[in-house]
Amino acid sequence: METKGLANIRGTARDDIKAHFVFIPLMLQGHLIPAVDTALLLASHGALTSIVVTPSYTERVHWTIDFAKKSGLPLRLMEFPLDLAAEGLPDGADDVDKVPPHLIANYFRALANLREPLERHLRFDEPYPTCVVADICHPWVKELAAKLEVPRLSFSGTCAFSLLCQHNVERFNAYDGIADDHELVVVPGLEKKFELSRAQSLIFFRLMPGFEKFTDELEQAVVKADGLLVNSFQEMEPQYVAGYAEARRMKVWTVGPVSLFHQSTTTLSLRGNTAAIGADVCQHWLDGKVANSVVYVSFGSIQYVEPKQVVELGLGLEASGHPFIWVVKNADLLGEEVKEFLRELETRVAGHGLLIMGWAPQVLILSHAAVGSFVTHCGWNSTMEAIVAGLPVVAWPHFSEQFLNAKLAVEVLGIGVDVGVTEPVMLRYDQKVIVIPREMVEKAVRSIMDRGDEGEERRRRARALAAKARAAVVEGGSSHANLQDLVNHFQRSPARGAAA
């Protein structure tokens, strides 16, 4: 285990620490990155933040942490290895990308086994934790916090709108008597009408056989939490923040957009990556393009795109006539025929389209003046990053709450168009392959880049929302105030000793 003590945190004396938050993120890029950003924000408000990671993920975040510590922020990593052999996991499987699909339950058991060593360490750590912040996917932290006798907050990777919709369809048994998983029903308990199918509303773990008990444990952990942190901001969805807080009878702190902690090209390019590989290439390519002319396409860190869909997407982008950057994940899994298609496409669109195989500095790309829209799976991190950049989106959800995030963007905020997918394309019980044809891709891209009244109105709304997002995180803003309130609420008690 590696920890950096307070003596090694430049410019920070122990007596200056107002509170000590221990962050326990889920080791997935989409969960880890916003948790680290939130920890950075709390540190900027005078709290010590300790971030628990496994060895593989130390490599992914230590660049960001080291950079922040050099500026004097009170941060440290706590590295805890997983006992892989005890759960029948192969070497290297503390990186979830290397966990075989049939062993994913074993991986979550291995994470839960961190409770005892983490408790032993924190019990004698200085300063003693004042609050544990755990990803909503870590129900075992409920017992950890109880043993340490400290408050526990849940950290959610989605918006209040999605949380409230999912809560209401379960709370009011909206799908009782509905046999077809794809039949639309009205989400109960909301002023505005939204229709949702069971397949579109299922949370991630309810889509996975054998996780029924685990899903119930998640619910109980949320119910008994001392509050919830959400990467959102009050001005974007006030009625849904209030609605979820009331439904859960708990305090909800909106603290986002957390990506706005990063204000420099250096930190943006390091965010979530082991090095700033590729950032200079993207920057140079975009510098040669007209403002608001480029379509950025990325489906996040865990989405798998079917080989047929890769071909249709590529041809649709090409046919749209707009310059594009397309991030292609897991290209090595697509087969030689599709890889050959990508090579040929890359040749045909050279100078007009840029294909990136693997990781890309997404926030850096989205913030460039040349980018005019974002084709996204509507994972919440990507949706928030589009909002911060003031960009309209093509909503292409793949599964779970992504459909709800898409509804927020298209039907609530009015900053997006729907590509036309109505069923999950991943984690299906059946083997049905859902493919959006090239014509629909082309139509959606042309629509989002349209310069007519409708397109301009979407862009105007997106820019206005971006301004509100930035106002939320500066002094006097709602998220800034919530972060300070968190530090004040969970501040240190002088009477509490290290071995309490």
| pLDDT tens per residue across span 387-432 | 999 999 999 999 888 999 999 999 999 999 999 999 888 766 667 7
Please report which confidence band the pLDDT of residue 478 belongs to, taking 50, 70 and 90 as the band edges.
very high
Please report which confidence band the pLDDT of residue 444 belongs to, taking 50, 70 and 90 as the band edges.
very high
Q: What is the pLDDT of residue 7?
A: 34
Structure-model confidence comparison of residues 204 and 44, the more confident one: 44
Please report which confidence band the pLDDT of residue 162 belongs to, taking 50, 70 and 90 as the band edges.
very high
Residue 331 has pLDDT above 80, yes or no: no
Q: What is the pLDDT of residue 296?
A: 98
**Where is average pLDDT lowest: 20-29, 46-55, 328-337?**
328-337
Q: Which of 160, 131, 3 is nearest to 483 (CA)?
A: 131
Query: What pLDDT digit, counting tens, does each position of 226-238 carry?
Result: 999 999 999 999 9
Structure-model confidence comparison of residues 59 and 486, the more confident one: 486
Structure-model confidence comparison of residues 15 and 323, the more confident one: 323
Q: What is the pLDDT of residue 429?
A: 63
Q: What is the pLDDT of residue 24?
A: 97
Please report which confidence band the pLDDT of residue 214 belongs to, taking 50, 70 and 90 as the band edges.
confident
Residue 12 has pLDDT above 60, yes or no: no
- Average pLDDT for 166-194: 93
Please report which confidence band the pLDDT of residue 271 belongs to, taking 50, 70 and 90 as the band edges.
low
Asked if 383 and 376 count as a contact pair (C-beta separation under 8 A), the reply is yes
- Average pLDDT for 101-129: 93
Structure-model confidence comparison of residues 241 and 64, the more confident one: 241
Q: What is the pLDDT of residue 399?
A: 86
Model pTM score: 0.90
Please report which confidence band the pLDDT of residue 207 belongs to, taking 50, 70 and 90 as the band edges.
low
- Average pLDDT for 39-63: 92
